[in-house]
Amino acid sequence: MVTILFSASDESWEKYRAPLETAFDAVGLDVTLSTRHDPETVEYIVYAPSSGLVDFSAFTRLKAVLNLWAGVEAVTGNPTLNVPLARMVDPGLTSGMVEYVTGHVLRHHLGIDDHIHNQDGVWRPEAPPLAQDRRVGILGIGALGAACATTLAGLGFDVAGWSRSQKTIDGITTLSGTEGLHAILARSDILVLLLPLTEATRGVIDGHALDRMPPGAVIINPGRGPLIVDSALISALETGQIAHATLDVFATEPLPRDHPFWSHPGVTVTPHIASSTRPPTAATVIAENVRRGEAGEPFLHLVDRDAGY
Ligand code: NDP
């Protein structure tokens, strides 16, 4: 019997309980899964940082923490956590992100807003360019960014991606390092941020970065709010250097009511809904990782605690 603590919101427990039980059955594991266990008996924690659990030192038999979220910035630096930490890579989460990014890229590419907001009786028969003539850059081509990149390339967009290590993805221009960052900024009519938040990525989109972009470029940020220096973005929107920013994530969430992003005509705010884990598929990933832990096999999607993601 494997003892598993589910440490997330009550709402998550409602959604995850049955899919997890099904998934543990499917991998042949006999588990006791609960939101309450004596800490000294717990072997795995299925975890969301929002649960409020920050001190792991009482969990003396703990074998791994399995994060329910893709982002781990709230837990990776926790000094009381001395066991492997896995992040979430979930096909459902990936599909949702691909749909969000593709939808918002197409909105800007096709100039859909002009037709929705400027229907003024004047016939302007200017067709938008083809996707092949629109350069899209994606900062972060991991699980989510690579899936978005290949989908957008499949639609014909001229896609480049930037990552920490140099990657090879069919049909995508791949870049890394500082020079690669400068190059991708300079070629991105539409820039999508899908980096994790780490010490190295915080503030990566500052005034200098924005100045390197083509005038009138668009930014889409479903990554993490502090990747962007907000004041620099607002200045770039004021000058027209950046034509529009679609932002899903913010330094403070919920975004405070008086934040200038809410009322800025050049900003679209979405409330951290770009994507989320989907219990049926995410439960399968969690169960597979517990199975691996029990079989002495390497965990999937381990976080590199030094790199911070
Ligand atoms: P991954 O870890 O799979 O990918 C991260 C990518 O960022 C990798 O390509 C990585 O490079 C790159 N990267 C990391 N640090 C650097 C750096 N210093 N310089 C250049 N590239 C870097 O993460 P996911 O794709 O699963 O998720 C990305 C982020 O998306 C999450 O961390 C989270 O913040 C956000 N997210 C937002 C959601 C929302 O609803 N808004 C939902 C889910 C996730 P390399 O490939 O070399 O490792």
Nearest-atom index, ligand 1, CA of 224: 34
Please name which of 275, 277, 270 lies closest in space to residue 99, comparing C-alpha atoms: 275
d(CA 56, CA 82): 8
Is any ligand 1 atom within 6 A of the Cβ of residue 219?
no
Is any ligand 1 atom within 6 A of the Cβ of residue 224?
yes
Name the burial class of residue 259, with classes exposed (0-12), middle (13-18) and buried (19+) by CB atoms within 10 angstroms of its CB.
Answer: middle
Average confidence (pLDDT) over 145-160: 98
Report the separation in Å between the CA atom of 164 and the middle of ligand 1, taken as the mean of its atom positions.
10
Report the separation in Å between the CA atom of 196 and the middle of ligand 1, taken as the mean of its atom positions.
4
Please name which of 57, 24, 28 lies closest in space to residue 42, comparing C-alpha atoms: 57
Q: What is the pLDDT of residue 151?
A: 98
Nearest-atom index, ligand 1, CA of 69: 43
Average confidence (pLDDT) over 295-308: 97
Q: What is the pLDDT of residue 57?
A: 97
Q: Which residues belong to the active site?
A: 224, 272
Q: Summarize pLDDT for 227-274 with one digit per residue, the tens.
A: 999 999 999 999 999 999 999 999 999 999 999 999 999 999 999 999
Do residues 309 and 114 make contact, with C-beta atoms less than 8 angstroms apart? Answer: no
d(CA 145, CA 132): 19
Is any ligand 1 atom within 6 A of the Cβ of residue 108?
no
Ordered by where they begin, the domains of the chain are 2-90+277-307 (3.40.50.720), 91-269 (3.40.50.720)
Candidate from 68, 138, 164 with most ligand 1 atoms within 8 A of CB, to mutate: 164
Q: What is the pLDDT of residue 249?
A: 98
Report the separation in Å between the CA atom of 179 and the middle of ligand 1, taken as the mean of its atom positions.
19
Report the separation in Å between the CA atom of 161 and the middle of ligand 1, taken as the mean of its atom positions.
12
**DSSP β-ladder status, 31-34 and 44-47:** unpaired
Q: Whose CA is nearest to atom 48 of ligand 1?
A: 164
Candidate from 148, 194, 227 with most ligand 1 atoms within 8 A of CB, to mutate: 194
Q: What is the pLDDT of residue 81?
A: 98
Location of structure tokens 């973005």: 233
Average confidence (pLDDT) over 279-290: 97
Interface predicted TM-score of the whole assembly (ipTM), two decimals: 0.99
Confidence label for 161 from pLDDT (cuts 50, 70 and 90): very high
Report the separation in Å between the CA atom of 273 and the middle of ligand 1, taken as the mean of its atom positions.
16
> What are the φ and ψ backbone dihedral angles of 114, each rounded to 5 degrees?
-60, -40
Q: Summarize pLDDT for 76-113 with one digit per residue, the tens.
A: 999 999 999 999 999 999 999 999 999 999 999 999 99
